[in-house]
Amino acid sequence: MQKQEFIQRMRQDLANDVKHNKTSVERIAASFGITDKNTVKEFTELAIVLEARRLSLRALPVYDRYMSIVELYNKQVTLSHRTSQSMLLQQYSTPAPIGFIAGVFCGMDKEGFYFEPSAGNGLLTIASEAHNFAVNEIDDVRRSNLKEQGFFKVYDQDATKPFPFIKSFDAIITNPPFGKVEPVKLNEFEFTVLDHVMCIRALDTMKDNGSAALIIGGHTAWDDKGRIQAGKNRNFFVYLHKYYNVVDCINIDGHKLYSRQGTAFNTRLILISGRKKVPGGFPPFYNPESDYTVYSFEELYNRVAKYIDRDLTDKNDFTSAFELEAEALALELELMNFKK
């Protein structure tokens, strides 16, 4: 099997705007002795990761690099092949432009010490030189693709379990698989959503003043009082706002921004800047000015770019009237329960 030759060919075709579909990619792969369709998909994604990192590391303004990665995404082949393993492990990777801008938010375009705990083929690491990253992945093919990229460490750990390096990294970035999990108790909270548990494990490895970008499934919905609807989601956001400075949570439309990665599932991008010195606080109330869904890469850029290279660790900037109102309502509810 001529893996490197195939990847080189796919990179060249991407750079030269050669359009492909699943059949044409599989035909080229077969000419290099690669016939397993899932392997073809994984190697094709590796070629995309390598091209995206090349574009991301050029000495150009963030916006120009972002738009060139959007262009790359728009010409990549749709990675639609699925297997029982890929569905079980929810191996739907992040579109490269989202990985890039989320990484820039985390400061990963500068030298540092970063972690991706369910790294797939590395699409969330593209804002950075690979040597700045430790990555983790349980799938063998994906881990072998990661090993070729020059990350300073490639781990093979179940990311639902605690990592041995607590508060170690300048930033973490993750798009864990979405699903259910047996109840896991973390501090005074209990979680049954896989992506919530894996995000919290990842956050535990972030330094107190670190940054994080988390991608989780679904969109936020609010009740008639403007609070996040009661249930698993509210539980997760109450945890996040209690322990971390949550800068933004962006609903991303799956059809418009994700479909070339083989899924149209809606997602949220959660941006975090540091751990709270004193735990406390609640998720803010619904705010029509910021709680809208983004339907294009341009909109996503505008939404994230305003935070780039700003010191966000002082949360006062972002403790909006909505968050103060949410605290007041929470207090009111607590008092009402107390009086019952």
Ligand X SMILES: C[S@@+](CC[C@H](N)C(=O)[O-])C[C@H]1O[C@@H](n2cnc3c(N)ncnc32)[C@H](O)[C@@H]1O
CB atoms within 10 A of CB 3: 17
Residue environment code for 94-121, b if the CB has 16+ CB neighbours within 10 A, otherwise e? bbbbbbbbbbbbbbbbeebebbbbbbbb
Nearer of residues 137 and 248 to ligand X, judged by Cβ = 137
Tell me which residues in 111-130 interact with ligand X (CB under 6 A): 118-120, 123-124
Least Å distance, CB 40 to ligand X, is 16
Contact call for residues 52 and 96 (beta carbons, < 8 A): yes
Out of 13, 137, 253, 323, the residue judged to bind ligand X by CB under 6 A? 137
User: What DSSP state is assigned to residue 110?
Assistant: S
> Tokens 């990761």 — which residue?
49
Beta-strand pair 180-186/133-136: unpaired
Site stretch for ligand X (CB under 6 A), options 22-30, 89-97, 181-189, 224-232 = 89-97
Site stretch for ligand X (CB under 6 A), options 88-96, 225-233, 283-291, 320-328 = 88-96
Q: What are phi and psi of 249, to 5 degrees?
A: -135, 115
Nearer of residues 262 and 284 to ligand X, judged by Cβ = 262
161/262 Cα distance (integer angstroms): 28
Q: Which pairs count as long-range contacts for 11-17, CB under 8 Å and 24+ apart, including other chains?
A: 11/47, 11/50, 11/51, 14/47, 14/48, 14/51, 14/72, 14/75, 14/76, 15/51, 17/75
Out of 94, 132, 211, 251, the residue judged to bind ligand X by CB under 6 A? 94
Is residue 268 near ligand X by the rule CB under 6 A? no
Least Å distance, CB 89 to ligand X, is 4
Beta-strand pair 244-252/267-275: antiparallel
Contact call for residues 76 and 141 (beta carbons, < 8 A): no
Q: Which of 168, 258, 254 lies closest to 210 in space, CA to CA?
A: 168
Q: Estimate the crossing angle of helix 37-56 against helix 3-15, to 10 degrees.
A: 50
Is residue 56 near ligand X by the rule CB under 6 A? no
Least Å distance, CB 289 to ligand X, is 29
235/217 Cα distance (integer angstroms): 15
Least Å distance, CB 39 to ligand X, is 14
The identity of residue 164, as a single letter, is: P
Nearer of residues 39 and 313 to ligand X, judged by Cβ = 39
Nearer of residues 123 and 271 to ligand X, judged by Cβ = 123
Contact call for residues 270 and 249 (beta carbons, < 8 A): yes
Out of 38, 39, 160, 168, the residue judged to bind ligand X by CB under 6 A? 160
Least Å distance, CB 303 to ligand X, is 19
- Give CA 272 to chain center in angstroms: 12
Site stretch for ligand X (CB under 6 A), options 14-22, 153-161, 288-296, 323-331 = 153-161
Least Å distance, CB 30 to ligand X, is 25
Least Å distance, CB 323 to ligand X, is 29
Least Å distance, CB 98 to ligand X, is 8
Nearer of residues 171 and 326 to ligand X, judged by Cβ = 171
> Could you tell me how many residues of this chain bind ligand X (CB under 6 A)?
22
Contact call for residues 264 and 255 (beta carbons, < 8 A): yes
Tell me which residues in 174-203 interact with ligand X (CB under 6 A): 175-177
Site stretch for ligand X (CB under 6 A), options 92-100, 274-282, 294-302, 306-314 = 92-100
Least Å distance, CB 280 to ligand X, is 31
Is residue 51 near ligand X by the rule CB under 6 A? no
255/235 Cα distance (integer angstroms): 27
Which residues are at the interface with ligand X (CB under 6 A)?
Answer: 89-94, 118-120, 123-124, 136-139, 142, 158-160, 175-177
